[in-house]
Structure 1
């Protein structure tokens, strides 16, 4: 859907970061707000448009306190199409990312956050426009690697980029305040604004 149609809001509701204004989000058959927070966190991965980084190295930002090995970090970076940056970085995984990721481009930040989510191997992965700051060649590489990695992981992606749309099993188009009848490949979801 277009900018402002509610894609980010919908993903934030699905991730449990915002309460729905109507209806109920269910997790394991019960309302999300009644679900165990640790269980929800373990089963859902969320990569926002503007990822958060911590002051430290690439490895610090990937691990966030977990005990993943360097090889696991490198594999996650490859899946997220961040391996080219990692290979070129003078200090590899020990490269400092700077305050708020200031040494990384927007696309590198998005792929760093994706690699972090990939490390967790969640059954459901919510991606909020993660290819908005990368070129189409990198997007194709990322998409191919993500599909190869995903296995049984359900991926819900908010995007308007062609690569992700072409690869989708199902497309929901958000549209402000107007609805159209769905066809066999697309459904239109109406938002209130």
Structure 2
């Protein structure tokens, strides 16, 4: 599902509500038939992946930022990077997965940060993946590659993506257009 609309129409807010990070002003978000506020947070975390516009990184290596304490193998990390179209950077990085990303990802471009966060979410294989404008800082060629790989990977994963980009809108099974605030 592609969520589109002008700046300020509430795309990010909608995704944050769906992720359980913000309460809805009215109504109820249900998860497994129960209000999201009553759902087990570990269950919600296991079933929802959320990639924000401005991803968070930890000071450390690419591998550290992908694993975040999980036990994924290097091969799994590389596969996730490929899905997220980050493999070009990984292949060119002097130390591969051991490349330092710097404080707050300072050695990475905005597009690389977005794709790193996507790769991290891909590793978890959540049934629902919420993507907040994850292609805003990448060129159209990389975006096309990312979209092709994400579609090939997604399988039964439902993807909800806030976007302004035509390629994501064209690829979506459904589009939700939000009106200006």
- Give the TM-score normalised by structure 1: 0.91
| Deviation sequence 1:139-168 (CA, Å, 0-9, x none) | 000000000000000000000101100000
Q: CA deviation at 1:23?
A: 0.5
Which consecutive residues of structure 2, in runs of 5 or more, have no partner in the other structure? Answer: none
Q: CA deviation at 1:128?
A: 0.1
Q: CA deviation at 1:29?
A: 0.3
Q: CA deviation at 1:45?
A: 0.1
Question: For the aligned residues, what is the CA RMSD?
Answer: 1.4
Residue in 1 that maps onto 2:95: 91
Q: CA deviation at 1:96?
A: 0.2
Q: CA deviation at 1:89?
A: 0.1
CA distance in 2, matches of 1:52, 1:27: 25
CA distance in 1, matches of 2:6, 2:100: 36
Structure possessing the higher relative contact order (Cα contacts under 8 Å, 6 or more residues apart): 2
Q: CA deviation at 1:21?
A: 0.3
| Deviation sequence 1:62-117 (CA, Å, 0-9, x none) | 00000000000000000000000000000000000000000000000000000000
| Deviation sequence 1:21-51 (CA, Å, 0-9, x none) | 0000000000000000000000000000000
Residue in 2 that maps onto 1:42: 46
CA distance in 2, matches of 1:137, 1:95: 25
Which consecutive residues of structure 1, in runs of 5 or more, have no partner in the other structure? Answer: 175-180, 183-192
SS at match of 1:81: coil
Residue in 2 that maps onto 1:187: none
Residue in 1 that maps onto 2:8: 4
CA distance in 2, matches of 1:70, 1:138: 23
Q: CA deviation at 1:14?
A: 0.1
SS at match of 1:41: helix
Q: Which runs of 4+ in 1 moved over 6 A?
A: none
Number of aligned residues: 177
- Give the TM-score normalised by structure 2: 0.96
SS at match of 2:159: strand
CA distance in 2, matches of 1:134, 1:91: 23
Residue in 2 that maps onto 1:112: 116
CA distance in 2, matches of 1:112, 1:65: 15
Pick the structure with greater CA Rg: 1
